[in-house]
Amino acid sequence: MTPLLLALSLAAPVAPLRAARPVAAAPADPLAALRSWAVREELVGTEEARWLLERPRDLPAFLLVIHERRTRLACCPHLWELGRFPPREYVQAQWRFAHAFRAHCQQRIAEHDDQAGAWAMALAESTPLYAAWDALDDATCVGRDVADRREALGRLRRVLGEERWYKGEMPECVPVWRFARVE
């Protein structure tokens, strides 16, 4: 390049660079932004978020909690996936019936030695059914911690298997094949 061209290229005005997209302004309250992010990611609940990061000096403890929760909940479904399952009232009714059935089986095992084997078999058959409804009951309980509810959804997915999970199919709450059919 000739010295004249070099001098002209250096003297030419340069247009200011513009960002490809506007840069978001820093949040007015970064602690509030962290709290709302943790709630959106379902790592903490709204109640817990209120007290978890009240002061700037709480930040290291908050980051430890968030790291532990992200690790623990990495494979757990989010709460929006509850939409494929029955509503809370129905879940509670099924859970109560399953619980009563299991208590009845345990009582019969203790009282009737001659039929204890049949009742024990009915109890064993009801165990995975009860586990599914118990996990769904825990997941639908709004009063529970968000992390506990997500872990309950993870348990439910393991109990149901992937196909039934994605279809939202719950098993019977008790082994109905054990009941006599009345017509």
Tens digit of each residue's pLDDT (9 = 90 or more) over 20-55: 666 666 667 778 888 888 889 998 888 888 777 777
Residue 62 pLDDT > 70: yes
174 and 88 part of one domain:
yes
Does the residue 165 lie in any domain? Answer: yes
Q: Is residue 166 domain-shared with residue 85, that is, in the same domain?
A: yes
Which DSSP state fits 22?
P
Of 43-47, 123-127, 179-183, the least confident: 179-183
* 54 and 140 housed in the same domain: no
Arithmetic mean of pLDDT, 51-69: 83
- Structural domains counted in the chain: 2
One domain for residues 118 and 145: yes
Q: How far apart are CA 60 and CA 53, in angstroms?
A: 10
Residues 59, 89, single domain; the answer is no
Task: Report the b/e string of 54-90 with b at 16+ CB within 10 A.
Answer: eeeeeeeebeebbeebeeebeebbeeebbeebeeeee
Distance set, CA 49 to CA 27, 67, 96, 147 (Å): 17, 15, 32, 12
pLDDT digits (tens, 9 = 90+) for 153-180: 999 999 999 999 999 999 998 888 777 7
**Domain final residue pick, 46, 74, 102:** 74
pTM, 2 dp: 0.76
Domain that holds residue 167: 79-178
Residues 115 and 137 in one domain: yes
Q: Which of 42, 74, 106 is a domain's end point?
A: 74
In a domain, 23, yes or no: no
